[in-house]
Amino acid sequence: MDLLIEAFARTLTQYPDAELVIVGNGPELDNLKNQAASLGLPLRSKEENGVDGRGCVRFIGAVYDPKELGAYMNEATVYVLAGMGGLSINDAMTYALPVVCSVCDSTERDLVTDGRNGLFFRDGDADSLTEKILQLLASPQECRRMGQESERIIREQINIDTVSERYLKAFADFLRR
């Protein structure tokens, strides 16, 4: 996540009205806030939701309510996963967002195809992450196209029917052994 804050600070040189919204809690939260402050980035909290967020980092905290999470996703232009994310990529894709991520444990490749519904950056490389964010922000049409593809993938390939089929096939293969 520290990589994302660094990349965001660089992104502001070309997009000074951008806002970074970080959802979640964890042991690194204070370090991330300190990093953002040391880079001169204004910090906002969830409670300051109506306050002008241009050029700032907004730390929301943990969000467990799907409607609340959806409200943040609906306001987003790009979803960046700077580490390992589990189901968070699925959530972003459901809201028709292009995904920017590295390949940490290769599960990302199951959902994201570089250039199709998102972009991969080199793991641990803030320059690469900045480049991918800027690429999407520079092309709203491309951003929208990738987001629509994300939503299509979730709707057609990652739904209860297809996932159930895969589980049944895996169980059947296991039982045949």
Is CATH 3.40.50.2300 correct for 2-176?
Answer: no
From CA 173, how far away is CA 169, in angstroms rounded?
6
User: Where is average pLDDT lowest: 13-17, 78-82, 131-135, 165-169?
Assistant: 165-169
Alpha-carbon Rg for the chain in angstroms: 17
* Structure confidence by residue, pLDDT tens digits, 13-67: 999 999 999 998 889 999 999 999 999 999 988 777 666 778 899 999 999 999 9
What DSSP letter does each residue of 69-88 carry, written as one string? Answer: HHHHHHH-S-EEE-S--TTH
From CA 26, how far away is CA 15, in angstroms rounded?
28
Q: For residue 3, what pLDDT band results from cuts at 50, 70 and 90?
A: very high
Domain residue spans in the chain? Answer: 2-176
Are 98 and 137 spatial neighbours (Cβ–Cβ below 8 Å)? no
- Cβ partners under 8 Å of residue 51, min gap 6: 44
Query: Residue type at 35?
Result: Q
